Amino acid sequence: MNPEAVIFDLDGVITDTAHLHFHAWRQVASEIGIEIDEAFNNTLKGISRGESLRRILHFGGREADFSQAQRDELATRKNSIYVESLNQLTAQSILPGIHDLLLELKQRGIPTGLASVSLNAPTILNMLGITDLFTFCADAGKIARSKPDPEIFLAACHGLGVSAQQCIGIEDAQAGIDAINACGMRSIGIGADLQHAGLRLLSTDQLTWPCLSAFWQRAK
Ligand code: B16
Ligand code: MG
């Protein structure tokens, strides 16, 4: 038996945009006197734009200093810088092994889903030239809670018409692994430091169909 679907996170699994988020947030944060480093940025993986800003303001001790309208302006400014930087993405920016895996899943008739909380996800898939390799992309604009809440993964399952218990979810962030586990999917984590992943791999080039299939047989 095969999984009913394989559901992917975007940032850190399909392509690495974490450094682009970091550069944009660092610029906006620095303009209001908050310095963030890459270690702090890692804690924002899988966290929505609004919640990321709240955490940055909290980190800088400035949570009380900005109205909602000012926060919206900061988030919009960060997004403009980020979207500008997406111009550098091409098919070469797809992480190792991912294109081959998406093609193989398509050939095997196994549906693929995207569960990214990024409102820019459709643009990014388009820049990478892989929109057609996804059966369904959950709409981040329609979810109320970012990871570790399972909402975006459940939305992907719903759109694909599959049951979460019959799917594999792939993530690079702890919040994402927690979201996958919370909805009863089988989790694969990319990264040495992840906790509670059903299978932990060090790099996306280990994400082959034989690897996923063996994991699924063991998990069932
Ligand atoms: P945007 P994922 C997440 O993507 C990123 O990991 C996170 O850093 C970012 O804040 C979030 O998307 C929202 O992105 O500002 O483009 O809407 O990991 O869920 O694919
Ligand atoms: Mg990610």
Structure tokens at 140: 């981040």
Selection from 63, 85, 79 nearest residue 15 by Cα = 85
- Give the tens place of pLDDT for each residue, 145-201: 989 999 999 999 999 999 999 999 999 999 999 999 999 999 999 999 999 999 999
Q: Please compute, for residue 115, the number of CA atoms within 13 A of its CA located in the half-sphere on the CB side.
A: 40
The answer to whether residue 193 is catalytic is: no
Residue 79: the pLDDT is: 98
- Ligand 2 centroid, distance to 61 Cα (angstroms): 26
Average pLDDT, rounded, for the chain:
96
Burial letters 74-112, b for 16+ CB under 10 A, else e: bbeebbebbeeebeebeeeebbebbbebbeebeeeebbb
- 28-39 pLDDT tens trace: 999 999 999 999
pLDDT for position 113? 98
Q: Beta partners for 94?
A: 15
In 3-state terms, the chain is what percent helix, strand and coil (to 5)?
A: 55, 10, 35
Verify that 114 and 195 share a domain, yes or no: yes
85 Cα–ligand 1 center, Å: 14
Residues 46, 106 within the same domain: no
pTM: 0.94
CA of 131 to the centre of ligand 2 (A): 18
Residue ending a domain, among 34, 62, 88, is 88
Which ligand 1 atom lies nearest to the CA of residue 10? Answer: 20
Domain that holds residue 65: 18-88
Q: Is-catalytic flag, 11?
A: yes
Residues 118, 180 within the same domain: yes
Both 113 and 26 in a single domain?
no
Q: What is the pLDDT of residue 219?
A: 83
